[in-house]
Structure 1
Amino acid sequence: MDLSLTAPPAAPAEHPGDGTPSSAGQQNRMTPGRRIGQAVVYVVLLIASVALLTPFFWMVMSSLKSANEVFSVPINWIPDTFRWHNFVDIWSKSDMVTWIRNTMLLSVVVTFLQLLTGSFAAYGFARIRFPGRDVLFLLYIGTIAVPWQSYMIPQFVMMSKVHLTDTLWAIVLIQAFGAFGVFLMKQFYETIPEELSEAARLDGLSEYAIWRRIMLPLSVPALASLGLITFVTTWNDYLGPLIYLRTPSNWTIQLGLQSFISSLYDANYALMFTGLTISVIPIAVIFLLGQRYFVEGIASSGLKG
């Protein structure tokens, strides 16, 4: 008779995070200190969210008030009567269609040119080697630190000499090139393996074809991030149109709302907030549609905090 003892089969090893009961129990066993810390983080995030959303909530509510209710004391957060006809009045009593058309035209054209010039220049800095490349890139990126107010007068003189003031072309030309876009796209291009470009060169593709057929399709998240930032910046720009645009038919929505309040309707702030609410809608829609690409592009371009 064989009296030897046979060892029981070993239980399968359990790894943390594999969904087994033991790993789930380890995750659920949080120390009181961690629970308190997590609760504090949630409270801080909640307070920050409320602080950020409160001005937008007040703007939307003010767009539905009468002119006398906007700055009433104490503050009336919710109007007694919702005046939806404010949205009809601002379209009928102002040139809102022209303002939105000009702003949309500028935003789309400037965004397209920034994507084109920024991605093309970034490819040269990231993939083409030439003498003085790094020095030139540092000098170009260094212009980000120079405030626009320091050179806007020489820029205005240049535009005046070529007779482009009081035209939308002036805004397009001064914003068509941006060092930030070049920096963002270069950081993203450097995450793409160099072997792809080398293989394309062996197949006979030119540098222009590599940029258009390989680099651009792979850089959609970075392009979306740059496009969203540029579009929002151009849409909200006030100082540039204020300096260059004089004719009311060329005004953007920012200039139009400012002149609408200050001169024509005796500071009807209710209609002003109605116009501001309308101006925010395109930005909100675009951001919601491109939020995923925006976060992915910023995270993969080396701009994380």
Structure 2
Amino acid sequence: MKPSTDRSNVLVRALNTFWAPTARSMRGWALASVVANAGIAVTGAGVRVTGSGLGCPTWPRCTPDSFVPIAHPEMSMLTMLIEFGNRLLTFLVLAVGAACVLAALRLVPRRRVLVRLALLQPAGVLAQALWGGLVVRSALSPFTVGMHFLISMALIAACWMLYARAGEGDGPAVRIAHRDVRRLGYALLAATAVLLVAGVVVSGTGPHSGDAIASRFDFDIEAVARLHADIVYLVVGLTFALLFALHVTGAPRAAVRAVLGLFAVELAQGVLGYTQYFLAVPAALVLLHVLGASLVWIAALRVVTSLRTRDPLESAAAAVPAEAPAAV
């Protein structure tokens, strides 16, 4: 049995992207997973800033008596719907992850590295869902809430690597920049990861806890905000240093464009962060800041993968045309 080849049918074309995948459609699903995981991180922040973190006060049920929101005298239906809606988005992220797995398994020739990276996605989403239950049961402890966000960032890293590897061959990695320049890129990525952790600490110390009964980190908000700003300066400085190093060593334009993209996102995020601080952290800017943090992380991952390459995918798949549909 083979999938239909009627490419005039939109549904058939959509099904073929993971049932009879090409390298291009595999990358498309990986990129969709990056977007889905970043999106649910932003909507999770939306749950928090609207005070809906305990809109569904139990897990896995929404209320002690129902899996879905029902009228309750002690809870607002609006907050229940907001929190329950975010739970439902988990199934969308899981569906995209499952499509990545199917595409990786059906790709001809099958590549084990893509299968392994794809399997991380549904496994990570399920782990994230279980952690979400811990978030509710801990009454929105700032530690569990912060880890919820950081797990999403780890999933984004796995999704990005799937996207990058799907466009490459399986040969050894080849540097396209000097060894020390590439090390600088890894240092930049590590500093960005530290920046995300610092941002979580600031978020867990400041307002917008998600519910009136939620606890906060017992830190001085001014001190942790200054520490966060200092790490921002470090990340921006490393980005500028990497950009300068790529320029003087004559690195490929793709790597330079990746660093310029990161630099632009960092500047926009910095302006947003200071605006947020001086306006006493309005809820709308918190959402934009979480989106910006996700974009900074994605841009930093793009920088690192732009500093090396592998044998062209066509050479690895020469024996089997990439467009050939897989048989059942």
The question of a shared fold, defined as TM-score above 0.5 by the shorter chain, is answered with no
Structure index of larger Rg: 1
TM-score for the superposition, normalised by structure 1: 0.29
TM superposition score normalised by structure 2: 0.27
